Structure 1
Amino acid sequence: MEFPVETLAHRQIYNLLIGLVAPRPIALVTSADTDGSLNAAPFSAFNYLCTDPPVVALGVTNRPDASFVPKDTARNIRRTHEFVVNIVTEDIAEAMNVCATDFPAGVNELEMAGLTTTPSSVVSVPRIAQAHAALECREHSTIEIGNSRIILGRVVSMFVEDRFVDPTGPYIKSEELHAIGRMNGLGMYVRTRDAFLKMDRIPYAEWQRRQAK
């Protein structure tokens, strides 16, 4: 089937894109309003973009019931310029899903999900205590595109529990961390447990040797 984007409704485009650009890492973002009230929300429009400087990106759409009204996460980041990306693993997946619930204003998603916080090292926004890894970020810039915002965050500190770090790199023991990924819009996720495929990059000289056989 062909899907000319110009003829599709936004929801149709969304359904197709999130099913094709998958699996996607999930950022469970903690942010705070200027009065200190905390918010936690998951985003799978998330990835790192560069390492020098280290920058991650979040795609945050506006609220569906009003044009150009930002969600709490985007509003908080715009006001305080800080946020924390908490890495979602199997053991906090259910809590992450609770945080995605559209609770009424004033409801603390962290409390509803049974999650607690602990102070971050650099930014004022706390990280989630149950998360095994987290990226502390300061807003680099926010780009408004249509009814969405792309938030670029400069990573200023990283937290990873010792047991998930190979100090020789240091490397992350991804095969033990058990992060999960988001698939389509039908509530489908993917585990990384027992699913790793190791494929080392081929040096050019080795590639030439293989071709000569």
Structure 2
Amino acid sequence: MVFDVATTDKKKIYNLLIGLVAPRPIALVTSRNEDGGINAAPFSAYNYLSIDPPIVALGVADRPAGDPAPKDTARNIRRTGEFVVNVTTEDLLRQMNICATDFPAEVSEIEMAGLETAESSVVSVPRIKSAHAALECVEHTTLQIGRSRIILGRVVAMYVEDQFVDPAGPYIKAEELHAIGRMNGLGSYVRTEGSFLHQPRIPYSEWVKGKR
């Protein structure tokens, strides 16, 4: 089947795209609202884009058609210029999913999910205490494209529990961290525990020797 984007319904495009661009890391983002409360929301339109400077990107769609307002996370980041990406691991799946619920503005997702926060080292927005790793970010720029906002955040500090850091690199002990990924829009996720495949890059010097 071929789907012509120009003539395909936007919801269908969404369903297809998120099923093909997978697995996707999940950013459980904490931000601060105008009353000083902390908002928590997951986004799987998320990845890192560069390392010098270190930049991560969030794709945050506006609220459903008929409501022109941006989602709380985008509004909070634009106002304060700060946010924290909490790495979603398998043990946080249930709480992350609760934070995805469309609660009324006065309801705290963090409270509903039974989560606690901890002070960040650089930004004023706290991280989620039970998250094993988190990226503290300041807004680099926000691009509004159609009904979405592409938020580029510059990473200013990284928190990782000691047990998940190999000081030799330093490297992240990814096989022990157990991050999860989003697969589609049907509630499907993938776990990484016990699922690693190792395929090191081939140096050119080895390639010409026939060591492939």
Q: Provide the TM-score with structure 1 as the length reference.
A: 0.97
Report the equivalent of 1:30: 30
Q: Which amino acid aligns with 1:19?
A: G
Deviation at 1:35, TM superposition (A): 2.3
SS of aligned partner of 1:168:
coil
Report the equivalent of 2:74: 74
Q: Matched residues in 2 for 1:151 and 1:22: separation?
A: 20
Report the equivalent of 2:114: 114
Report the equivalent of 2:191: 191
RMSD, aligned α-carbons: 1.1
Deviation at 1:67, TM superposition (A): 4.6
Report the equivalent of 1:143: 143
Q: Matched residues in 1 for 2:65 and 2:98: separation?
A: 21
Within 5 A, what are the aligned runs for 1:93-112? 93-112=93-112
Q: Which amino acid aligns with 2:79?
A: R
Q: Matched residues in 1 for 2:26 and 2:66: separation?
A: 25
Deviation at 1:33, TM superposition (A): 1.4
SS of aligned partner of 2:125:
coil
1:127 maps onto 2:127 in alignment: yes
Deviation at 1:116, TM superposition (A): 0.4
Deviations 1:91-141 (A, max 9, x none): 011000000000112000000001000000000000000100000000000
Query: Structure 1 stretch 112-121 or stretch 30-39: which is displaced more?
Result: 30-39
Within 5 A, what are the aligned runs for 1:47-62? 47-62=47-62
1:5 maps onto 2:17 in alignment: no
Q: What's the % identity of the aligned pairs?
A: 70
Task: Give the number of equivalent residue pairs.
Answer: 212
Provide structure 1 residue ranges, at least 5 long, that are not aligned to the other structure: none
Report the equivalent of 2:203: 203
Q: Provide the TM-score with structure 2 as the length reference.
A: 0.98
